[in-house]
Structures are given as structure tokens and as C-alpha cells.
Amino acid sequence: MAKTLPGGVDAARLERGVALLRTMVRIRVLEEGIEKHFLAGDIPGFAHLSIGQEAVAAGTCANLRRDDAIASTHRGHGHTLAKGTPMRAMVAELFARSTGVCKGKGGSMHIADFSVGMLGANGVVAGGFGLVAGAALSAVQRKTDQVAVCFFGDGATNRGPFHENLNLCAIWNLPAIFVLENNRYASTTSTAETMKITDVARRADGYGIPATIVDGFDAFAVFDALADAVARARDGGGPTFVECKTYRARGHFIGDPERYRRKGEVEDVMSASDPIVRMQAMLGEALAPDDFERIWVEARDEFADAVAFARASAAPEPQEAFFGVYAHDREPGDPVHRIEARERDALLPFAPRVGSGSQGSGH
């Protein structure tokens, strides 16, 4: 339901709103573009889209510094873009190019950008909890005021590391923030089937961690909740749990037949709650239609440029498969280097030939 803020929108609010909107639109354009290119065969592996959840990424990351850490899930494109990774580096990574942010070695499920504190999308559900607990612990050890944010879904809260790490962060009062994107589905199982409770935030109570529940379609609401959580963490107040009620507008992965939800459910939810439409409505007349349009055009141009960049980039050299695993393993004197070089020399003659300049992907 669209809502106009009473009393108009002040300049600071407008500026923040436009910034959040821009991030959400860029994420939407990126995700729709990835969907299209994945179906066209340009992207190997799996891809998990976060369409519908843009407000959580945008609202959270707007509160973070470059040197704050985030850990993400297998559905991490939005978090990565919102944290500050250039679209070119992201698209090149998904297209398996050597110019990708992970040199083509991670792909969608393991995309990471340590230059902006993005500790990686993770192919293991609940893989991020330990990393964030550790990053928060690291800040305490090094006596900085950095914070660490863990994005995760409802499914992750049923795994052991969720419980162990929340407990650890609570007892050690670590500057960790747990942002749950409760999109109602974990792969093909709905939350109704996999837990007795409706509000997952109640689980945080079990560990003594303060928790709030917000409308995950409302980027302002997310922003405000995270502002409090970040301030608490930086001030040494310990962890916070923020449950964002949101929705996954696409299947679990691209190609998911989505047998677990009623046809039309997506339509119903998105027509009522699309976070981009929401923000546009909240800004109301303060945002001119042309300006709104311009945000979309710029985002689309940015994406098209990113695709062109990816297409023009080279695939990684086959022998790259053998190095970059251990620190220093590219140095000839390193003991691992010699072993990997021997493995490469033993195996490479039998590797299938890759044509130069080819797309190198697709199935």
C-alpha cells in the first residue's frame, strides 16, 4: 500500500530516500539483467536473485563505512552492489572473466570484494555467521570501532552455526549485527513448515540479544533500524538482531520451477509491496518523474556498460586453475608452487582446449 509521508518530505529525507532508491534500482536492474543473461547462456553455474529484497541491502549498507565488514549468502548480488563493488567487476565475475572481482574463480555464489569489506557470498547456508563473529572479534582485538553485519535467510537460522555464533557474540559482547531477510522460503520449504514460530527474532531472545522486526519492503524502516544497531555496536553495546520481513520475487535459483508456491502469489505480494514502488510513493511529489526515470536510465546504462566490459574481457588462463590457493604460491621458491607446477604440467596436456576470445561459458 503506497503511503505519502505526512507534512511533505524534508531535504535530508529526500536525499537519503533518493540514495536508497538509486541503490535499489541498480540492484533491480542488475538482477533482471543477470536473469536475462543467465537464461541466454552467458553465465555458468547457479545464480540466486534477490529481486524483492532490495530494500534490506540498501537500507543496511547505507549505514556502513567502507571498513565495516559484511558477510552474505548465496543470494548476495544486492549486498555486494550496495556495499560498493562496481557493476563491471561483478558482471565480469559472473561471466567468468579474469577481470571479475574474484578473477573469475568465485562466480555468483562466492562473489567477494575485500576492498569494500565484503567478506563474500557463501555457498554454504549459515556460512557467514562465523565469519562475522570473527570479524567483530577482530575489531575488538585490534581495538577499532568497526562493525560486522551478517546477512542471512530464515533457512540459516535452523543450522547449528547460527546458534553457536549468536551465543558467542552475545557472551563476548561483539560488535556484530544480524540482519535476517525473512523472505518466507528457504529453498523450496516455507517458514511455516520449518519452524514453529512466526517471528524468528524470538530466537535472538534465547541468546540475550536485543531484536527488532521491521518491514523489509520499507527501505527507510530498514535504514532506521540498522542505524540504531550500528550505533549500539560501535559504542560497545554488543550485537543486535534485525528481522526484515521481505519476500523473494523469483525462484530460489534461476530456473527454479517454483512448485512450492501458488501461481499468482508473487504477483500479489509484489504489486502490494515492491520496495522500489514503495520508495517512489514515499517520496511522492518531492521526486520528479523525470528524476525517477533518470535513475532507471542511468542504472540500465551502467549495466549495459558492465556487460560490454565483461564480453570484451578475457577468460582466465587455464593454468590459473593451479595457483592462487596458498599465500605465496606464485613464488618459484615456495614449496607449494613446485608441487602445483608439477600437477599443472601433469594435467594440462590433457585439458580440453579453450578457443581464445570465446565466451568460455554457457551450457
Contact residues toward another protein (CB under 8 A) are 69, 71, 100-106, 110, 112-115, 119-120, 122-124, 127, 129-142, 146, 148, 160-161, 164-165, 167-168, 171-172, 324-328, 335-336, 339
Q: How far is the CB of 322 from another protein (least distance, A)?
A: 10
Q: Closest CB to another protein among 136 and 283?
A: 136
Question: Angle CA(23)–CA(28)–CA(31) in degrees, nearest 5?
Answer: 120
Identify residue 276 by its one-letter amino acid code.
Answer: I
Q: Closest CB to another protein among 312 and 339?
A: 339
Q: Closest CB to another protein among 113 and 302?
A: 113
d(CA 103, CA 326): 15
Q: Closest CB to another protein among 51 and 176?
A: 176
Q: Is the dihedral of CA 9, 248, 123, 46 positive or negative?
A: negative
Q: Closest CB to another protein among 143 and 263?
A: 143
Q: How far is the CB of 96 from another protein (least distance, A)?
A: 12
Q: How far is the CB of 162 from another protein (least distance, A)?
A: 10
Q: How far is the CB of 165 from another protein (least distance, A)?
A: 5
C-alpha cell at 299: 542504472
Q: How far is the CB of 201 from another protein (least distance, A)?
A: 20
Q: How far is the CB of 64 from another protein (least distance, A)?
A: 14
131 CB-contact burial (10 Å; exposed 0-12 / middle 13-18 / buried 19+): buried
C-alpha cell at 122: 557463501
Nearest CA to 354 out of 308, 320, 315, 309 is that of 315
Decide if 241 contacts 204 (C-beta within 8 A). Answer: yes
Q: Closest CB to another protein among 105 and 184?
A: 105
